[in-house]
Chains A and B, each alone.
Chain A
């Protein structure tokens, strides 16, 4: 099984500042057949289901603000919130969909400093 490891577990960032979340997979999730990374990022607010933010490691889902961006390839990935807003307080999960079983990272809680 592919293990997804996120860091940090939590972070506190001032409004308007940058937040960076890292995710590492235990093996490459880059497909040689289509040169795509099978990596997604989700945002989950309390009492709500997760919301898809990013897929294919860097493609923003429709309607997601452009302050959210994803980067990385192979085994190392990053979610960046360029200018943290109050509504961004949430837990963020990385997730691979490369092969079964699909797995999620442990989550990163983002708070306002």
Chain B
């Protein structure tokens, strides 16, 4: 069974940093593009970033480019999102997503990030 388990969310002050992690199991992690998608409270879905199987390609939505960094460790079956210069508008549930190509097949349960003073 495919499992994606996010961790690392919490309350952080504006301007602060946070690192999200996603632990994958039940599939060959190194064969999948991996993605972060977020959802602000009561709002729709926003694609944040994705990373190629070997980490050689990364893409970001403009609103986080330069502040967030996506990375992966295939030996640990793990995906990461390093977030810095956090803003109130970054408050959201962050989902770890795995896909065949860029199709978002498998989703974690999400981890809540709250940016507030």
Q: Are B104 and A106 in contact (CB under 8 A)?
A: no
Within 8 A of A (CB), among B35-86: 35, 37, 44-47, 50, 59-62
B1: interface (CB < 8 Å): no
Q: A101's contact among B45, B61, B107, B109, by CB below 8 Å, is which?
A: B61
Inter-chain residue pair count (beta carbon < 8 A): 53
Within 8 A of A (CB), among B17-39: 35, 37
Of all chain A residues, the one with the shortest Cβ separation from B48 is A101
In contact, B105 and A52 (Cβ under 8 angstroms): yes
Contact with A along B74-114 (1 / 0, CB 8 A): 00000000000000000000010000011111011110000
User: Known: A49-B95, A49-B110. Contact between A104 and B105, CB under 8 A?
Assistant: no
Query: Chain A residues with Cβ under 8 A from B101's Cβ?
Result: 97
Interface string of A77-99 (1 = CB under 8 A from B): 00000000000000001010100
Closest to A52 in B: B105
Tell me which residues across on chain A come within 8 A of B103, comparing CB atoms. 40, 52, 55, 97
- Known A49-B109, A49-B110, A93-B44; contact A101-B104, beta-carbon cutoff 8 A: no
Instruction: Give A16-58 as 1s and 0s: 1 = Cβ < 8 Å from B's Cβ atoms.
Output: 0000000000000000000000101010100001111001000
On chain A, the residues within 8 Å of B95 by CB distance are: 49-50
Residue from A1, A38, A103, A104 having most chain B Cβ neighbours under 10 A = A104
Instruction: Enumerate chain B interface residues (CB-CB to A < 8 A).
Output: 35, 37, 44-47, 50, 59-62, 95, 101-105, 107-110
Given contacts A49-B110, A97-B103, 19 further A-B contacts (CB under 8 A): A44-B45, A49-B109, A50-B45, A51-B107, A52-B103, A52-B104, A61-B105, A93-B45, A95-B47, A100-B59, A100-B60, A101-B47, A101-B61, A102-B35, A102-B102, A104-B45, A106-B44, A107-B44, A107-B45
